[in-house]
Structure 1
Amino acid sequence: MELTCLAVDDEPLALDLMRSYISKVPYLRLLQTCSSALEAMSVLRNQQVDVLFLDIEMPDLTGIQLLQAMGPQKPAVIFTTAYPQYALDGFTLDAVDYLLKPIPFERFLKAVNKVHDWAQLLAPQVTLQPGQHGANGKESEDFIFVKADYKTLRINFKDILLIEGLKDYVIIHTPAKKIITLLSMGKIMEKLPEHTFARVHRSYIVSLPHIESIEKSRIKIKDQEIPIGDSYREEFMRWVESKNL
């Protein structure tokens, strides 16, 4: 799995070191280096960045301020700084690691391996099941990993009853519990097999095999009633009609 990188530092020698270190790691690809946080903001708006190597003490805008300005969908951040006093701030802002200059390559490698392992863990695991395909024509998946309660949880598709959207989060309903994770409805829908799940409302995705009944504009699954949104009704009812005897 390749990870794209952006290095931000106002010291040219520090950027040279990041270029050298990144070039030594096969799964890292350097997109660009920036000498200021303001320059980095422009890059982040226009390019997909997986890992951000970020200095803290920079003119005009600090690395901490740049991270605070980012939305929830931000890259993995590894701080690279000469100032240990910002470590608590960095981890409060969910930085993956905090590297103190001068940075040994072994310490750099440990930090990027952490990001790489995490990315692989969150990538959906595929099991080959001939004849079943997901939304993008790929072989369907048996499960996904999601981050919740400071853990990474495996959730089998067959255990999902429905998924409820709540602003920037989704609530995954299973028979045993509800799992809340930071994820958009559109993003999780991309990971679900289309033959098993359907979006029936702006705020709801349902597991088709778990539907117990459909009445007027409501779907019943266990003790939950899910509304069918106007913009989703036609497609969903076509699926219902295809199952009618």
Structure 2
Amino acid sequence: MSVAPLACVIVDDNEINRLTLEHLVDLSPELTLTASLASGLEALEFFRQGGHCNLLLLDVEMPMLSGLELAKLLPRPGPAIVLVTTHREFAVAAFDIQAVDYLVKPVEFGRFQQAVARVMAAQPAAPTPPPPATPASSELFVKVGTKTVRVNFDEVLYIEALSTYSVLVTPTHKHIVYLTLKALSERLPFAHFVRVHRSYIVNTRRIEAIEDGLLKLMQYEIPIGKSYQEEFMRRLESL
């Protein structure tokens, strides 16, 4: 699955350095340039106006407002910060502002990519999608003949294949549905309906007994196909 590129902002008062960083960002498919700013004050205004980024490439030494001062004024949680400077002695300061990495000018592309990889690794994991919701009701609408009928599936004992149709069997009715058994089984959202035979799906909540390879549901007896036995017993134990 493809990952959206990280929004990147460059802040450096030196135009040549900014152009160099812009070129490195352009060469990195993981990044997209949001803004390239010439001073810490411009950057501060950018963020105060609601600007956003995932990665801030930040020069340390700038007039009026240094990169370190700017970093301390940013809202939290803020963007991942990579300091870019000509002086190695700012490494301790980088640690103090919790910068993800620290690049020394002139920045080489290989070293720049290492920093980008560290930023990518530090990004929060995408939230796990919630499981599909269990239907609040056991009732579904199904097409029976020329009508669409509301059926309470708690009352369905089993479903039987009938050529290209299916039959929903309840204690009092038999509904012929214009769907194959396979198509109907794929639409059922209820885990307690289990295929036990090439011609039958049963409501496990209505099984009264299992004897001699037959499922007893009221007055009906449904065979368990040999190829379905193992999966049926496993499903039965998990319900």
Percent identity of equivalent pairs: 33
Give ranges in structure 2 of 5+ residues lacking alignment: 136-239
Question: Match of 2:204?
Answer: none
- Pick from 6, 18, 22 the counterpart of residue 3 of structure 1: 6
Check if 1:44 corresponds to 2:42. Answer: no
Q: Using the alignment, how far apart are the partners of 1:132 and 1:42 within structure 2?
A: 48
- Pick from 7, 10, 16 the counterpart of residue 19 of structure 2: 16
Q: Using the alignment, how far apart are the partners of 2:104 and 2:90 within structure 1?
A: 10
Given that 2:55 and 2:81 are in contact with CA atoms closer than 8 Å, whether structure 1 keeps it comes out as yes
Question: Match of 2:115?
Answer: 111
Post-superposition, which runs of at least 4 consecutive aligned residues in structure 1 deviate over 6 A?
A: none
Question: Match of 1:32?
Answer: 35
SS at match of 1:122: coil
Q: Using the alignment, how far apart are the partners of 2:101 and 2:78 within structure 1?
A: 15
Q: Using the alignment, how far apart are the partners of 2:122 and 2:74 within structure 1?
A: 20
Question: Match of 2:95?
Answer: 91
Q: 1:54 to 1:132 in 2, by over 3 A?
A: farther
- Displacement after TM superposition at 1:112 (Å): 0.8
- Displacement after TM superposition at 1:26 (Å): 1.2
- When the two chains are superposed, the root-mean-square deviation of aligned CA atoms in Å is 1.7
- Displacement after TM superposition at 1:71 (Å): 2.8
| 1:8-48 residue CA offsets vs partner (Å, 9 max, x unmatched) | 00111111111111011112110110110000011122211
SS at match of 2:70: helix
Check if 1:60 corresponds to 2:64. Answer: yes
Question: Match of 1:131?
Answer: 133
Q: Using the alignment, how far apart are the partners of 1:99 and 1:132 within structure 2?
A: 51
Give ranges in structure 1 of 5+ residues lacking alignment: 134-245
Q: Using the alignment, how far apart are the partners of 1:48 and 1:64 within structure 2?
A: 18
Q: 1:132 to 1:50 in 2, by over 3 A?
A: farther
Given that 2:47 and 2:74 are in contact with CA atoms closer than 8 Å, whether structure 1 keeps it comes out as no
Q: Using the alignment, how far apart are the partners of 2:73 and 2:36 within structure 1?
A: 19
Question: Match of 1:69?
Answer: 73
Letter in 1 for 2:111: R
So what's the TM-score if we normalise by structure 1?
0.51
Larger radius of gyration between Structure 1 and Structure 2: 2
Aligned residue pair count: 131
- Pick from 101, 104, 110 the counterpart of residue 100 of structure 1: 104
- Displacement after TM superposition at 1:84 (Å): 1.0
So what's the TM-score if we normalise by structure 2?
0.52
- Displacement after TM superposition at 1:85 (Å): 1.1
Q: Using the alignment, how far apart are the partners of 2:111 and 2:77 within structure 1?
A: 26
Letter in 2 for 1:107: R
- Pick from 122, 125, 129 the counterpart of residue 122 of structure 1: 125
